[in-house]
Structure 1
Amino acid sequence: MPGAVDTTERPVEIAIVGGGIIGLILGLGLIKRGIKVTIYEQARSLREIGAGVAFTANAVRCMGLIEPGIVKALREVATANGDADDPNDWLQWVDGFNQHFENPNEEKLLYKLYAGYRGFEGCHRAQFLDALVKIVPEAVVQFRKRLDTYTQSEEDDQVTLKFTDGTTATADALIGCDGIKSRVRQILLGEDNPASFPTYTHKFAFRGLIPMERAIAVLGDYKARNQHMHIGPKAHVLHFPVAGQTLMNFVAFVSDPQEWSHEATMVAPAKREEVEETFKSWGPTVRKITSLLPDELDKWAIFDSFDNPAPYYNQGLICLAGDAAHASAPHHGAGAGIGIEDALCLATLFEKAVQAIETRKTTKRKAISLVFDTFNSVRKERSQWLVDSSRGICDVYEWQNPECGDDAEKCFKEIEWRSHKIWNFDIDGMLQETQEGYDKRIIG
């Protein structure tokens, strides 16, 4: 083609929009596989808002397959349940609502599940991000780069990114890891497409951090230092240790029949009195926990992509990953883990693509577009299932599932199979499907 630029000899260059946990992990995985990466972050510095995040054993294994340094970074800041030298790998659900008069200060243990060795490691999001930043090569991340739009050029087989500050950049492909409000998704699917935007789930969450010594004084050592889910009607409370057992992460999910009124932000200020009022009819343990909260805290609107899921994750040299593709409610605690699975899939595919390009089995443009086609095929069903199941499991926790109600045995069966589908995911099977799927597309 006249005027076309031969890009075959250049190394593969990938632009990632979004410098959160998934964007950094994906970037590290691509760099390890010899790919040039630039991460464009709209903020002035890398930071993750939020409180605690937890990872299952399977998610940690994915991290190790992407780049072993990621696991080392996690372990620098992760906190296990109970004794750090003898972790408690069981997750527990208790009746937080009903007072059991034989011992009114204790909650009834409804069910517990073994999550695997070191199967529940919690950390503060910002601390994990800080640990990841230390292993990202210098100059990979560019700050104050808010994406305005992008164009795909067939003449030179590249993507041009245009930022709101008037600057531009080019790359062989663009991956949107820019979260639930993804600008890349809006451009990819169309700004008049409902699937370009998340919707309110009619749940919000009070979130806060409680000093561990205060939690122990009120709850006792075991309950404070170990994950517990307190379930009840139309709400549920979760807590687990973070920051080396120095803090207890608190989150209380509440049903909200109204629309979210803070249109400009998903986070709004709240007061401890609001939480106490919400749970005033609950059992004494939950009421004790709410009394430990600071006077001022946050409440977070829970948005997701359930109502209008993305019909596809890719188009040409553009792809979505993590929350940008499949934002889910946090009730499974698996959104970040599923995003890490995405990153492993993409890193594996780009390794195959580089080989195909170097051996001249195909052009760079086709090799990359087949990466994204294969990714969409491999990851869409599971990631969309998580979006659906995260809504469904919340109904179980809050006794609003019409088939389960507050029947402990029926609720446990739902929790068990859904949790195991996440925790026991066949990573090796995914990698085999990924590699075979790419090979078939190259040959085809």
Structure 2
Amino acid sequence: MSGVKFRVAICGGGIGGLCLAVALSRHPNIKVEVYEAAARFKEIGAGVMIWSRTWEILAHLGLDSNFAEIAHAIPDGSDGVGFDYRKSDQPMEGHRFYLFHRPYGCIRFHRAHFLDVFVDALPDGVAHFGKRLLSYTQNNLHGPLELQFSDNTTARCDILVGCDGIKSIVRKQMLEEKAAKTGQGELLHHIDPVWTGTVIYRGLIPVDRLNNRDGLEHRTAETPMMYCGKSKHVVSYSISRRSIVNVVACTSHPELEGTVACDEPWVVECTQKELLDCYDGWEPEVVDMLKCIEKPTRWVIHHLRPLPTYVSNKVALLGDAAHAMSPHQGAGAGQAIEDAFILAHLLGHQATSLATLPQALLAYEHVRLPLGNHVLRGSYESGVMYEFNGPQTDELQVLGPAIGRQWNWLNETTPVGEAERAVRWLVESLQAAVVEER
């Protein structure tokens, strides 16, 4: 421990947790431990997408060349298609009603390959498996925290970061303790995830199976597609060097958003017939694609109510533990990476010490909570709009530009600018505390 200024425990080895561990490993005076409940690092789901602001972070971490090797195509910064929006809920051929362009376009990966880049960048000895967190204790505000795991072991740390997903144990204990201490019973309302009202079907298709009768390539092999219809939409895009197409077919009941779904597992296998029946009467381009999914899985999609806080003393939430969201803006992974980047930037700053950790976490919350909650809400709202259930209904000339405005947050700030803003807030708050003590 000689030369170590504090110890960071990361509970959860998903994208956000591993990104944080890799970013913190750049600071030799910070000791990092990752505690993962499973026997190995793994991701469920098939595709993951990021936007240019997340690519900027990967470049700052020195990982852009590694990620470029596994992207659908090498990102070169040129303008590309984010999504091609198409009205498709009719048996005749559909038509485009909006085309969303972005620098870099939509950068796509196989989720397991994406996680592996972070795994490969992790220093030896940092990861601990079979460590499912049960609870944490802190006997005094200035002392270390003790972590209790399901295998009857314990560990100590100076800061705990809950990267333990939508069903976060860290979030549950943090909000319960804060509610008991402050009398803010409404905090308990934010512990459990709620149903978005949406069920999705997922599947992977080899690109060569999608060629039409004339041998022409299906448009989604090249272009990320958003096939839209009343209370349903289908997202499809290529991954793994354009060799595989990831398909996500959504069907929704917006009036049920915020309710508790049935007790069945969130992810189950289902029949191809169930999937095809759901999209019966859609344009041939969509139906032909769905017929290529032999073994779809069905997912009940949940999200969090926007949290009023991400931190408590020396405990912080990150990624899905803080802002689990529906997938309709392809932003979940990117927001977790942005959390990790800014938190690592703060913890590595010279103003952050064992004594100032609580202020550093408040600086993290100050910057990340507003945007995290904004994207959480916006992602759900975008899904509603794709399915013609928003204020614009199916008035396509109005709907297209309205969908485009949903993406404005991508340009309003930069991750580096947000990290610098967080540091300024931290330094100013510490200076104000010194003046107040005088």
Q: Does the pair score TM above 0.5?
A: yes
Contact 1:33 1:347 in 2 (8 A): no
1:330 alignment counterpart = 327
1:173 paired to 2:159: yes
Contact 2:80 2:102 in 1 (8 A): no
AA of the residue aligned to 1:20: G
Distance 1:199 1:85, change over 3 A: closer
1:229 paired to 2:226: yes
AA of the residue aligned to 1:98: Q
1:273 paired to 2:273: yes
1:315 alignment counterpart = 312
Partners in 1 of 2:302 and 2:141 — Cα distance?
39
Contact 1:175 1:319 in 2 (8 A): yes
Q: How far did residue 8 of structure 1 move? A: 9.9
Partners in 2 of 1:340 and 1:85 — Cα distance?
19
1:79 paired to 2:72: yes
Partners in 2 of 1:365 and 1:136 — Cα distance?
24
The C-alpha deviation readout for 1:193-223, integer Å capped at 9, x for no partner, is 2311101111011001001100123694250
Q: How far did residue 63 of structure 1 move? A: 2.1
3-state SS, counterpart of residue 77 of structure 1 = coil
2:41 alignment counterpart = 46
Q: How far did residue 366 of structure 1 move? A: 3.1
Contact 2:276 2:290 in 1 (8 A): yes
Contact 2:81 2:224 in 1 (8 A): no
Q: How far did residue 73 of structure 1 move? A: 3.0
AA of the residue aligned to 1:320: L
Between stretches 259-268 and 249-258, larger displacement belongs to 259-268
Partners in 1 of 2:321 and 2:304 — Cα distance?
9
Q: How far did residue 174 of structure 1 move? A: 0.4
Contact 1:73 1:128 in 2 (8 A): no
Partners in 2 of 1:88 and 1:436 — Cα distance?
34
Contact 1:198 1:305 in 2 (8 A): yes
1:378 paired to 2:377: no
Partners in 1 of 2:110 and 2:327 — Cα distance?
15
1:114 paired to 2:101: yes
1:425 paired to 2:423: no
3-state SS, counterpart of residue 27 of structure 1 = helix
1:3 alignment counterpart = none
Map residues 96-111 of structure 1 onto 2, 5 A cutoff. 96-99=88-91, 104=92, 106-111=93-98
Q: How far did residue 84 of structure 1 move? A: 9.6
1:15 alignment counterpart = 9
Partners in 1 of 2:141 and 2:343 — Cα distance?
25
Partners in 1 of 2:71 and 2:315 — Cα distance?
33
Contact 1:92 1:111 in 2 (8 A): yes
1:149 alignment counterpart = 135
Partners in 2 of 1:162 and 1:248 — Cα distance?
42
Between stretches 43-52 and 259-268, larger displacement belongs to 259-268
Between stretches 203-212 and 190-199, larger displacement belongs to 190-199
1:25 alignment counterpart = 19
Distance 1:383 1:38, change over 3 A: same
The C-alpha deviation readout for 1:50-105, integer Å capped at 9, x for no partner, is 1101111111102222x112x23322221139x99998444211111135xxxx4x
1:356 paired to 2:335: no
Distance 1:24 1:390, change over 3 A: same
Distance 1:90 1:186, change over 3 A: closer
AA of the residue aligned to 1:80: A
AA of the residue aligned to 2:375: L
Contact 2:199 2:251 in 1 (8 A): yes
| Cα RMSD after superposing both structures | 2.4
AA of the residue aligned to 1:435: V
Distance 1:428 1:24, change over 3 A: closer
AA of the residue aligned to 2:36: E
Contact 2:201 2:299 in 1 (8 A): yes
Partners in 2 of 1:369 and 1:18 — Cα distance?
21
Between stretches 90-99 and 151-160, larger displacement belongs to 151-160
Distance 1:154 1:319, change over 3 A: same
3-state SS, counterpart of residue 203 of structure 2 = strand
Q: How far did residue 412 of structure 1 move? A: 1.4
Distance 1:438 1:42, change over 3 A: same
AA of the residue aligned to 1:430: E
3-state SS, counterpart of residue 336 of structure 2 = helix
Using the size of structure 1 for normalisation, the TM-score is: 0.88
3-state SS, counterpart of residue 434 of structure 1 = helix
2:396 alignment counterpart = 408
Partners in 1 of 2:78 and 2:376 — Cα distance?
33
1:63 alignment counterpart = 58
- Taking every aligned residue pair, what percent have the same amino acid on both sides? 29
2:286 alignment counterpart = 286
Distance 1:213 1:262, change over 3 A: farther
Contact 2:22 2:118 in 1 (8 A): no
**In the comparison of the two structures, how many residue pairs are matched?**
417
Partners in 1 of 2:37 and 2:145 — Cα distance?
19
Distance 1:406 1:336, change over 3 A: same
2:182 alignment counterpart = none
Distance 1:340 1:96, change over 3 A: same
Distance 1:372 1:304, change over 3 A: same
1:305 alignment counterpart = 304
1:360 alignment counterpart = none
3-state SS, counterpart of residue 190 of structure 1 = helix
Using the size of structure 2 for normalisation, the TM-score is: 0.89
Contact 2:203 2:296 in 1 (8 A): yes
1:184 alignment counterpart = 170
Among candidates 15, 31, 39, match of residue 36 of structure 1: 31
1:92 paired to 2:84: yes
